[in-house]
Structures are given as C-alpha cells and as structure tokens.
C-alpha cells in the first residue's frame, strides 16, 4: 500500500496554476494585496488540477496518539499515562483541539496507533463540560466501560520491551452524535522501544503505522473531507520529532531540539544528549525514510507521514500543525518529493526543529503565534486562512464583471 500510494503522487498541475494566477490578476483588488493567500490559492488550484479548486468546507483533523520508550530517559516531565488520559479528554470534547475544531467546524478522529497504557474507560468528568460522555456509549454494551477499551485484551502487556503485542486492530468507537469525536484503535505496538538502546520500531512496525495513516486519509477523504489536518498526542514525542528533523535536514541535535511541554534547563540538556546519542547509535540514512522512522521515530510520526502521503495521493491538501507534524512531513517528502505539493504549513511552532523542518521543505507557515501545544491546534487556527484563500477565487468579482476601472 505504501509503494502504490507513493507511485500515485504527482506534481502540481501547471495549467490549473496558470489559470489561478490569471484569475487572481482580474479580481477587484490591487495585484498582490492578499499577500500569501494569492500563491496559496494558486498552489491549491495546482493540487486540485482545476481552477478554482474546491472549497475545503469539510475539514477533518486526525489525531494520532502513541507512546515512547525514550520517555524512560527523562525527556518529558509528564507521566506517560497522560497520553491515554488525553484520549479520554479528546473523546469527551474537553481538549483545546476540540474547542478549536468546534470553532472551525472540523471533525475530530483520534487514532490510537501506539498508546502504551490502557485507554480510559470513561472520559474524565472535568472534561465532559461540553459533551455528554453518554454519547460515547453507542458501541459496547457494558455501561461501566462505554468505550469498551478498558479491559486488557489477550496478549496485552504494559512492558514495551515485551515484543510486538498490540491492542486488536480496528476497534472503532463511534459516538452516538455522528459529529462527535471518533476513536479508531489501530495500535501497532504498546509504545516504541527506547531509541537510545535499540531501534524504536522494526521496519514492519514503522510500515504498519505509515499504512494506518494512509488508510485514515483515504477513509476521511471518502467520507467527504476536502482538507485533512494533522494532530498528535504522545508524551515525549518532541524528542523523536527532534531526532527526525536532525536526521532528515542534517541540522545539529541542539538546533533540532526544543523544550516540548516546557522542560527545565537540566532536562533540556539531557534531551539534546538523548537525541545526539540516538543519532550516533543508528546513523539513520535520510534516503531511507522507513529506516529513519524505525530507528528514531514514533508511531504517531510514522502514521502522520502516511496521512500526508495519503492526502497527496488523493490530491487533497493537508494542513500541518507543529513540530511533530513537520518532522513527519520530512519523512513523507523523503518517500515522495511531490508530496510537498499537498502540504500547507499551518503555523510556526515555537519548537526550533519546526523552523528547521519548514526551511528544508520550503514551506512558509501561515500563522506564527508562539504556539507549542500540538494536538492539531495550530492547524485548526490556520484553517480559515486556507478556506479564505480559496473562497476569493470562487466569490470575488472581476474588474470586468463589477464594472470597476483598472489602473
Ligand atoms: C496535558 C497535555 C496536553 C497536551 N496536548 C498536546 N501535548 C503535546 O505535548 C507532548 C509533547 O511534549 P513532550 O515531548 O515535552 O512530552 C505531546 O503529547 C504533544 O501532543 C500535550 C501535553 C500535555 C502534558
Ligand atoms: O509544535 C508542537 O506540535 C508541539 C510543541 C511542544 C509540545 N508538543 C507539541
């Protein structure tokens, strides 16, 4: 599936781009007055292969969640269980990403691609302010376990070193409210291995996660999404993101590493050394993206690379969030250079690795607000900018049609 998806990714359509440039020149505004929105509209026409490109009025954010063996090195101040607990929060509608998704009118799909600890049976009450947790009871019958995911399935082990056990694939919890957040369990492994000790993933595990992302992209596009937004959740995931950025761009570990959730000076110094040690141990080859993802990546990073490839193959734009997303975008671009044509950089994360990755990809972020949260929050805030850029091509009158004189 990975190979056929990569093979389906093609360059932007020059004729549609020329048509969009020509149309921009006839609209009732001074040339260039819409700044970055003008080249963005041209780019989206090239991706769609038609001018104007379709309005991306159905937006879908996919939040891939995973845990990290490298957490054992003390790279994040937060306990690993927060990953699973935040999934409960996402499903209850209580996270920042939910608030922004409601504002933007975007659907939310949470994908457990590698969470290590059991998912919460019931969303935390504090998070249930805006959504009735009973909505989640649509699937399994056990009222004490509305998502049906609290019981450990056969083979479950909380020990990430214990081999490739995973939750059974393809459990999908759909809330009674069809517009509510949805959970897909496609758990490849109960968290990665510690990349300072061994490769984080086998190549097969990395591939399984990439292909999960491709499949989610196809499902969302088939369900009508006109734009996909990247989201992530995984305590410790800024560390593999930094390693991916360093591996693909060649910047030094210190230049690729940031403070994540806000680590102190001592933890930051350790984090840089962890990234450096992992890169020295594995010497990942940037021409082998599956090998890089397996050596120093995360399951959510790999799945995000797949989501981006899947979007590019379907010629649907993918709006990138922060440093986790752009580190995954580097992998997607290494698989298929033309996948960059499907990418729109939503924002500039405060993480330095994000800026290094964006520079390498040649992408200019739409907004720069100092955000450093992830989840898809920066991408969601940028969504109206993307829709606005396309809406101009659909709705703005030309000098001719409006009877406005040109200079
Ligand atoms: C409550 C909470 C909610 C979050 N939402 C996103 N992240 C973000 O922070 C984590 C990465 O930072 P680090 O590498 O320093 O652990 C990821 O889970 C990311 O999605 C969160 C983190 C926390 C604690
Ligand atoms: O840029 C991000 O996505 C980010 C930054 C810090 C912590 N978590 C995510």
Q: What is the pLDDT of residues 112-134, one digit of tens each?
A: 999 999 886 544 433 333 333 33
- Mean pLDDT over residues 33-50, rounded? 98
Burial of residue 14 (number of CB atoms within 10 Å: 0-12, 13-18, 19+) = exposed
- Mean pLDDT over residues 339-353, rounded? 98
Cα–ligand 2 centroid distance for 16 (angstroms): 35
- Mean pLDDT over residues 280-293, rounded? 98
pLDDT digits 0-9 by tens, 138-162: 333 333 443 434 333 333 333 444 4
To test the pocket of ligand 1, the residue of 235, 242, 267 to mutate (highest count of ligand atoms within 8 Å of its CB) is: 235
Closest ligand 1 atom to the C-alpha of 78? 24
Q: Cis link prior to 52 (omega < 30° from 0)?
A: yes
Per the CB < 8 A criterion, the answer to whether 88 and 119 are in contact is yes
Cα–ligand 1 centroid distance for 97 (angstroms): 12
Can you give the pLDDT at residue 149? 42
Which residue from 244, 264, 365 is spatially nearest to 304, judged by alpha carbons?
244
Kindly list the protein residues whose Cβ atom lies closer than 6 A to any atom of ligand 2. 238, 260-261, 321-324, 349, 351, 354, 372-374
Can you give the pLDDT at residue 152? 37
Q: What ipTM score was computed for the predicted complex, to two decimals?
A: 0.99
Can you give the pLDDT at residue 165? 52
Can you give the pLDDT at residue 167? 59
Q: Give Cβ neighbours of residue 170 (< 8 Å, ≥ 6 apart).
A: 184, 185, 186
Which CATH number describes the domain made up of 56-122+167-385?
A: 3.40.50.10210
What is the spatial distance between Cα 9 and Cα 224, in angstroms, rounded to a whole number?
20
Cα–ligand 2 centroid distance for 8 (angstroms): 31
Can you give the pLDDT at residue 390? 98
Which residue from 113, 114, 110 is spatially nearest to 123, judged by alpha carbons?
110
Can you give the pLDDT at residue 181? 95
What is the spatial distance between Cα 15 and Cα 29, in angstroms, rounded to a whole number?
23
Cα–ligand 1 centroid distance for 373 (angstroms): 6
Please indicate whether residue 375 is annotated as part of the active site. Answer: yes
Which residue from 319, 343, 314 is spatially nearest to 331, judged by alpha carbons?
343
Q: What tokens appear for 204 in the block? A: 């097969």
Can you give the pLDDT at residue 119? 86
Q: Is 108 helix (H, G, I), strand (E, B) or coil?
A: strand
Residue 330: its H or E element: helix 323-335
Identify the active-site residue in 280, 300, 375, 406: 375
Burial of residue 50 (number of CB atoms within 10 Å: 0-12, 13-18, 19+) = middle
What is the spatial distance between Cα 286 and Cα 248, in angstroms, rounded to a whole number?
5
- Answer yes or no: is the C-beta of 1 below 6 A from any ligand 1 atom: no
pLDDT at 263 > cutoff 50: yes
Q: In this predicted model, which residue has the larger pLDDT, 163 or 299?
A: 299
Can you give the pLDDT at residue 120? 67
What is the spatial distance between Cα 5 and Cα 156, in angstroms, rounded to a whole number?
32
- Mean pLDDT over residues 298-315, rounded? 98
Residue 289: its H or E element: helix 289-296
What is the spatial distance between Cα 268 and Cα 182, in angstroms, rounded to a whole number?
35
- Answer yes or no: is the C-beta of 190 below 6 A from any ligand 1 atom: no
pLDDT digits 0-9 by tens, 167-211: 555 455 555 567 789 999 999 999 999 999 999 999 999 999 999
- Mean pLDDT over residues 5-19, rounded? 98
To test the pocket of ligand 1, the residue of 233, 245, 325 to mutate (highest count of ligand atoms within 8 Å of its CB) is: 233
Q: How does 162-188 read in b/e, with b if 16+ C-beta sit within 10 Å?
A: eeebbbeeebebebeeeebbbbbbbbb
Q: In this predicted model, which residue has the larger pLDDT, 162 or 254?
A: 254
Pure H helices in 35-77: 37-48
Determine the Cα angle at 103 with ends 175 and 305, to 5°: 70
Pure H helices in 105-250: 203-222, 238-249
Rg of the chain taking only CA atoms, in angstroms: 21
Q: How does 212-243 read in b/e, with b if 16+ C-beta sit within 10 Å?
A: bbbbbbbbbbeeebbbbbbbbbbbbbbbbbbb
Can you give the pLDDT at residue 172? 57
């Amino acid at each position: 599936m990975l190979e056929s998806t990569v093979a389906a990714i093609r360059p932007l359509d020059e004729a549609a781009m020329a048509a969009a440039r020509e149309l921009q020149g006839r609209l009732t505004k001074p040339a260039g007055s819409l700044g970055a929105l003008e080249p963005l509209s041209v780019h989206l026409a090239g991706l769609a292969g038609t001018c104007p490109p379709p309005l991306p009025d159905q937006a879908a954010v996919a939040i891939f969640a995973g845990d990290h063996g490298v957490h054992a090195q003390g790279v994040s101040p937060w306990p690993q269980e927060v990953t699973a607990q935040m999934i409960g929060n996402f499903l209850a509608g209580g996270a920042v990403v939910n608030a922004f998704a409601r504002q933007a009118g975007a659907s939310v799909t949470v994908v457990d691609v590698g969470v290590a600890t059991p998912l919460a049976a019931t969303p935390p009450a504090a998070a249930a302010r805006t959504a009735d947790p009973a909505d989640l009871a649509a699937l399994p019958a056990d009222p004490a376990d509305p998502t049906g995911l609290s019981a450990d399935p056969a083979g479950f082990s909380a020990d990430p070193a214990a081999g490739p056990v995973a939750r059974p694939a393809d459990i999908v919890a759909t809330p009674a409210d069809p517009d509510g957040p949805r959970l897909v369990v496609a758990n490849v492994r109960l968290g990665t291995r510690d990349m300072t000790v061994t490769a984080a993933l086998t190549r097969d595990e990395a591939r399984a996660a990439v292909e999960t992302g491709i499949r989610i992209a196809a499902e969302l596009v088939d369900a009508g999404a006109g734009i996909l937004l990247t989201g992530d959740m995984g305590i410790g995931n800024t560390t593999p993101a930094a390693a991916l950025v360093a591996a693909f761009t060649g910047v030094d570990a210190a230049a690729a590493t940031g403070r994540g959730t806000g680590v102190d000076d001592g933890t930051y110094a350790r984090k840089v050394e962890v990234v450096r040690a992992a890169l020295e141990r594995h010497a990942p080859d940037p021409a082998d993206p599956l090998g890089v993802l397996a050596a120093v990546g995360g399951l959510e990073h790999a799945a995000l690379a797949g989501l981006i490839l899947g979007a590019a193959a379907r010629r649907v734009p993918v709006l990138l969030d922060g440093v986790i997303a752009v580190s995954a975008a580097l992998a997607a671009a290494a698989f298929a250079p033309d996948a960059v044509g499907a990418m729109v950089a939503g924002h500039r994360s405060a993480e330095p690795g994000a800026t290094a990755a964006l520079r390498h990809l040649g992408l200019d972020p739409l907004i720069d607000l100092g955000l450093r949260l992830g989840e898809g929050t920066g991408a969601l805030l940028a969504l109206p900018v993307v829709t606005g850029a396309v809406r101009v091509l659909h709705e703005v009158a030309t000098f001719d049609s409006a009877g406005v004189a040109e200079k």
